[in-house]
Amino acid sequence: MSAKQYNIAIAGATGAVGEEMISILEQRNFPVKELTLLASRRSVGKCLPYKGEPIKVSELTADSFDGIDIALFSAGSDRSREFAPIAAESGTVVIDNSSAYRMDAHVPLIIPEINPEAISDYNKKNIIANPNCTTAVTIMGLKPIYDISKITRVVATSFQAVSGAGAQAIEELKAQTSAIVNSKEIKSEVFPHQIAYNVIPHIDSFTENGYTKEEMKLHNETRKILDDDQIQLSATTVRVPVFRSHCISVNLETEDQVSIEQAREAFASFPGLSVLDNPDKSEYPMPITTSGMDDCLIGRIRKDFTVKNGISFWISGDQLRKGAALNAVQIAELLIKHKTNNNA
């Protein structure tokens, strides 16, 4: 086994996903030689702990990537578009959590349990894209079925936690709750409306067809990850007053018949997915169950009786972990394995 270690940078280290990346590198004992934390100027000087040692945050600039083997980006699309090509040019492999490169034909979009083979294209641009958080959780439930039969159509409605909108969004939900309890004025800065004790059917901006970008990401990214431009996915994405973990209500139709028993078996044996489906005991996935978990949980599995080959389920996953930081680190692990195998 190679004892090789890697210089890793995290761009956007002080964000909700960035902090999660640090702790996941530590938890998974990733072979880090040196860890560089990068953020915007206003975070410079901050320290974040890694393996018990404080690491100073440096400013993200064009010169940040000298000697960096792998850079995990989670600093927003604009920063990715500005700095990822510079890093990639200098030989760093960028694993990008933003939407900037996901649909780029020369950038693989990877969920290691689903399409690990796509890693072989990593050096077309030296950029690998991490999927949208809701796509990542949803597709963990689609793939086990897809391995049995093609899926023709999916209807998905999401219940998305505020932390998907960053650390400030968590503070906004807390502050609004406290304001309502104390009959004070509510401020909405991160979200377009009050999120406390409310739900908002609007995530990312609207597109011309009436769907939001978030909703179209589910359609487009699912097609790319499954490498299937026939699958149709209609999504409605909704923000709910939950701190952490997304849930998705899914109705799907398959080309061939898939029995509920087959589906259950396929879900149970799929890596990164666990079945929690005991209605008699009121056991099913919820945000409070999956917060902080690596695995996605799937439940409410049932035959959709309204269509010939239909299955309905409910899936929940920690969108900061499987939906973002964990998947990015898993991609980095896949990359290392791929490079090691190819050098061997």
1, 105, 181, 344: residue in contact with its own copies (rule CB under 8 A): 181
40 near its own copies, judged by CB under 8 A: no
Nearest approach, Cβ of residue 243 and its own copies (Å): 6
Report 263-322 residues binding its own copies (CB under 8 A).
Answer: 279-280, 282, 284-288, 299-307, 310, 312, 314
67, 184, 193, 269: residue in contact with its own copies (rule CB under 8 A): 193
106 catalytic per annotation = no
153 near its own copies, judged by CB under 8 A: yes
Classified as helix, coil or strand, 45 is coil
133 catalytic per annotation = yes
Residue type for 51, please?
Answer: K
CA 300 to chain centre: 22
234, 262, 274, 309: residue in contact with its own copies (rule CB under 8 A): 234
198 near its own copies, judged by CB under 8 A: yes
Nearest approach, Cβ of residue 72 and its own copies (Å): 28
For residue 99, CA distances in Å to 10, 17, 66, 288, 344 come to 17, 14, 25, 27, 33
Q: Which is nearer to its own copies, 302 or 338 (CB)?
A: 302
Classified as helix, coil or strand, 60 is coil
- Give the list of residues 6+ apart from residue 344 with CB closer than 8 angstroms, or none: none
175 near its own copies, judged by CB under 8 A: no
- Give the list of residues 6+ apart from residue 87 with CB closer than 8 angstroms, or none: 9, 64, 65, 68, 71, 94, 126
The side-by-side arrangement of strands in the sheet containing 296-303 is 232-239, 151-160, 246-254, 310-317, 296-303, 273-275
Query: Which residues are marked as active site?
Result: 133, 246
Binding footprint of its own copies on the chain (CB under 8 A): 153-155, 157, 159, 173-174, 177-178, 181, 192-194, 197-202, 206, 209-211, 219, 232-234, 236, 238, 240-243, 247, 249, 251, 260, 279-280, 282, 284-288, 299-307, 310, 312, 314
